[in-house]
Amino acid sequence: MNHKFLQRLVFTLALLGAATLTMAQTGVGVKPEKGAKLYLDGSKKSVEKNWEYWEGPRFSAENPIKWPEVSDPVDGGKAISSNDPAAAGGLYGAADIVTKDKFEDFRAHVEFFIKNEGGNSGVYLQNRYEVQILDGDYGDHGLGALINEHIPTSEEYYGIGKWNAYDIVFKAARFENGKLVAKPRATVYLNGVKIHEDKEIQQVWGGPNSGLDGGNDGGKGITDRPGGLKLQAEGHDVFFRNIWIKKLKLDDMSTDF
């Protein structure tokens, strides 16, 4: 085989491989990628196996986890509701659940369904940085926001009574000799459309009841402790299913995908 032809073939295959990496599937119904673990299939069994209550300063729930298994309003399958009675009245931090596995860099897929107007929950990256779930609001505290910092570039929420999906790549903060040298970053898709591209996150918001490091220097005292993916209970009927996570190593790499 001609040597130059072989070089061109190898180069073309490399480009195709790179293209495959940038064409990751996103949106409702996407199955776990190779190397990913399914953490929530909609069943109570998967909750008991892979999740635990986050026992923060406001924790007031009682084990076992009280998030109920419900019938999927769309197809009759299984889903898990965040409507834990301990969180009634919007007491975030009282009954939030977090994965038993803890993460640094990762790719996550989360499907959620808001049953009623004003339904409120949230997806916390590393149990620190919230991607908001909130019906009827758009802004830096609205649905799809990287809370209090970044507004989605477009409104892609399907609305109440429909399944929605976040696809997220997260890169943890970097430390050298115990000193913060790079802030965390994230890219987020909502329903298959990119709404945040490699955005830097400045701090933890919401105080000590919100998650790890929320009480450190007003949320600015980020530490290097790995954290799980957390789902917020606020006393609303927000349902979850098809949550999977893949550990990554993003040294010298962007979160964009």
Q: What is the pLDDT along the chain (257 residues), one digit of tens a residue?
A: 454 444 444 444 343 343 334 458 999 999 999 999 999 999 999 999 999 999 999 999 999 999 999 999 999 999 999 999 999 999 999 999 999 999 999 999 999 999 999 999 999 999 999 999 999 999 999 999 999 999 999 999 999 999 999 999 999 999 999 999 999 999 999 999 999 999 999 999 999 999 999 999 999 999 999 999 999 999 999 999 999 999 999 999 999 99
Give the number of other Cβ atoms within 10 Å of residue 93's Cβ: 24
β-bridge partners, 134:
120
**SS3 category, 113:** strand
Contact 118, 236 (CB under 8 A): yes
Q: Which SS3 state, helix, strand or coil, does residue 14 take? A: helix
d(CA 101, CA 98): 8
Distance between CA atoms of 222 and 104, rounded to whole angstroms? 13
Total-model pTM: 0.91
- Domains of the chain, CATH where assigned: 3-248 (2.60.120.560)
Q: Name residue, tokens 């298994």.
A: 69
